[in-house]
Structure 1
């Protein structure tokens, strides 16, 4: 498959996954005043002023001035602190110029990795278990070392409620959960995310076991692709590549305060 076509499939899945989060916020956290609108072929989402999911995902390669203006108006009306476009590397030179001219700067990147299914999967080094809500929230917050305030507990709750998602963990010999991870459907894509390992359990193969189990479940469910977003040159990237994923592209975050 051509890379441009795969990028399109993944970006469509990213927008769909973001919409699922918005709807989960609307249903389970109505005070967040979550909202969304179509934007440049993707989705602009507001899930709270401090939420990492207040962003645009899935935008196409040619961002028009009117589309950027519409997104800015949407975020301003919803009292967002900034406007964020998370864009694939297919942005045209004209699109980049429009963003720069309006004051956008690059604030970060993430690597998008994917595995075409079916694929070979080694047996997990640990036995995965499905996490109940209380365990999920506790491990999620501790693994990412999040403060018990602001948006953080709400994100854990909403992630648990994501429609069709599977929430997994692995436990040590004493039954203590060492890490968590999630798989969520987005069309033909299984989105693998929310990978977190408790600080004291890192280096023990927890994430690798959870990647392998989610690949197994994704194949059983008939997905064509498994996709994840990781920090460049991170241990997570190494673990995913070790499990058969390949780097597809780097997504760039353009931010305007």
Structure 2
């Protein structure tokens, strides 16, 4: 079992699901286009107000990462008129000449993502004084709003994109409530034997009350009920001397760092056109 391939594949598929499944009106409004290249996915949101959703990931398993593969990925973004994109490639599949490839394509370092993993039977549930439970279709719009506000993202268009994924058979959205008020949300994506814990965010005024830990626990239980053997999650690596509470919560729950992945940032004004070099 290649844990890295499974972890990267799950993330690529839930990101592809979100954007490819967006309503046509949202895809037009935000300029969303998706494609599959070399075993990975490339997702373009031309009018993304967050600079988050245009990303390419899941590469290096079906075919190797080469100059030519990166050419094909960036040609897609050029063709869509994208003003930038993030390439996310697991460190274990980066080729020995990666420095040459990234230099030629003017890819610069961005943030770093910690990918975490554990067998589902070693996961330790957390607790909270908040009520947690599944999100119904009637709750979907509020859930999307809470998640996006928790991440500090605008709702216009993007909320409708998240709502469209709520009823997909591979997704299981959950939320936490303080009384009747929804204050945190998260999603579980089922991908074979892997349960991907993603899209978790809490409103600022409700942080440090255990919402994330409880949402991790309820999603882990749902993944086990669905037959998953493994859990995978990701979060940002904190800067030196700083702390990421989300990362600490995941580790306390039993998830363990699998690897740290560098974001590689591309901008069209810094990148030359393709010449097909391999």
Normalised by the size of structure 1, how large is the TM-score? 0.88
* Secondary structure in 2 matching 1:121: coil
What is the CA–CA distance in structure 2 between the aligned matches of 1:160 and 1:40, rounded to whole Å? 28
Given the superposition, is the C-alpha separation of residues 197 and 22 from structure 1 closer, same or farther in structure 2, using an over 3 Å criterion? closer
Residue 200 of structure 2 is matched in structure 1 by: 195
State the 1:152 CA deviation: 4.1
Given the superposition, is the C-alpha separation of residues 83 and 201 from structure 1 closer, same or farther in structure 2, using an over 3 Å criterion? closer
What is the CA–CA distance in structure 1 between the aligned matches of 2:5 and 2:35, rounded to whole Å? 19
After superposition, give the CA deviation of every residue in 1:183-209 in whole Å (9 maximum; x if it has no partner): 112232211111111111111111011
Residue 181 of structure 1 is matched in structure 2 by: 186
Alignment pair present for 1:44 and 2:42 = yes
Quick check: 1:11–1:57 contact (8 Å CA) kept in 2? yes
What is the CA–CA distance in structure 2 between the aligned matches of 1:28 and 1:10, rounded to whole Å? 31
After superposition, give the CA deviation of every residue in 1:206-236 in whole Å (9 maximum; x if it has no partner): 1011001111111111112111111124110
Quick check: 2:44–2:85 contact (8 Å CA) kept in 1? no
Q: Runs (4+) of structure 1 moved beyond 4 Å? A: none
Alignment pair present for 1:9 and 2:6 = yes
Residue 19 of structure 1 is matched in structure 2 by: 16
Normalised by the size of structure 2, how large is the TM-score? 0.82
Quick check: 2:235–2:247 contact (8 Å CA) kept in 1? yes
Residue 60 of structure 2 is matched in structure 1 by: 60
Residue 111 of structure 1 is matched in structure 2 by: 114
Residue 136 of structure 1 is matched in structure 2 by: 143
* Secondary structure in 2 matching 1:192: strand
* Secondary structure in 2 matching 1:93: coil
* Secondary structure in 2 matching 1:216: helix
What is the CA–CA distance in structure 1 between the aligned matches of 2:199 and 2:10, rounded to whole Å? 16
What is the CA–CA distance in structure 2 between the aligned matches of 1:193 and 1:98, rounded to whole Å? 30
Given the superposition, is the C-alpha separation of residues 214 and 178 from structure 1 closer, same or farther in structure 2, using an over 3 Å criterion? same
Given the superposition, is the C-alpha separation of residues 80 and 34 from structure 1 closer, same or farther in structure 2, using an over 3 Å criterion? same
* Secondary structure in 1 matching 2:19: helix
Residue 71 of structure 2 is matched in structure 1 by: 69
Residue 153 of structure 1 is matched in structure 2 by: 159
Give ranges in structure 1 of 5+ residues lacking alignment: none
Q: How many residues align?
A: 252
What is the CA–CA distance in structure 2 between the aligned matches of 1:141 and 1:85, rounded to whole Å? 22
Give ranges in structure 2 of 5+ residues lacking alignment: 239-243, 268-278
What is the CA–CA distance in structure 1 between the aligned matches of 2:261 and 2:104, rounded to whole Å? 20
What is the CA–CA distance in structure 2 between the aligned matches of 1:245 and 1:203, rounded to whole Å? 19
